[in-house]
Amino acid sequence: MPEVDAAYYLILAAMLFSIGAFGLLVRRNPLVMFMCVELMLNAVNLTFVAFSRDLNDVGGQVNVFFVLVVAAAEVVVGLAIIVAVMRHRPGATADDLSVLRG
C-alpha cells in the first residue's frame, strides 16, 4: 500500500481550519459558530497526527488527547450557555449577546 505524503494531510487540515475560521467570522448563529470552532480544533488535531506520523514522534498524538479533553470541556460549558441564552431569547444571534457588555 503506497504511503500518502504528509503534505496532503496538512493541506486538508489547512482547508478545514480556513473553513472553520471563515464560518466563525461570517455566521451569526451561535450553534453554527460553535461547530466552526470544533472544526478548527480538529483541523489542528489532524496537523498534529500528520506530523506525529511523519516525524515518528508520539508527542503529537499526546497533544491531540489534550486538545480533545479541553474541547469536550469547552463543549459542555459552551452548550450550556447557549441553551441558557436560547431559553431567555429564542432565536438570539451572537451579536445580540453584546448586551452582556459591561
Nearest distance, CB of residue 58 and another protein, angstroms: 26
Nearest distance, CB of residue 98 and another protein, angstroms: 3
Q: Based on the number of CB atoms within 10 Å of its own CB, is 95 exposed (0-12), middle (13-18) or buried (19 or more)?
A: exposed
**Which residues of this chain interact with another protein, rule CB under 8 A?**
21, 24-25, 28, 33, 94-95, 97-102
Nearer residue to another protein within complex by CB, 40 or 46:
40
- The HSE-up count of residue 92 (CA atoms within 13 Å, CB side) is 17
Give the integer Cα–Cα distance in Å for 77 and 71. 10
Nearer residue to another protein within complex by CB, 65 or 96:
96
Nearest distance, CB of residue 22 and another protein, angstroms: 10
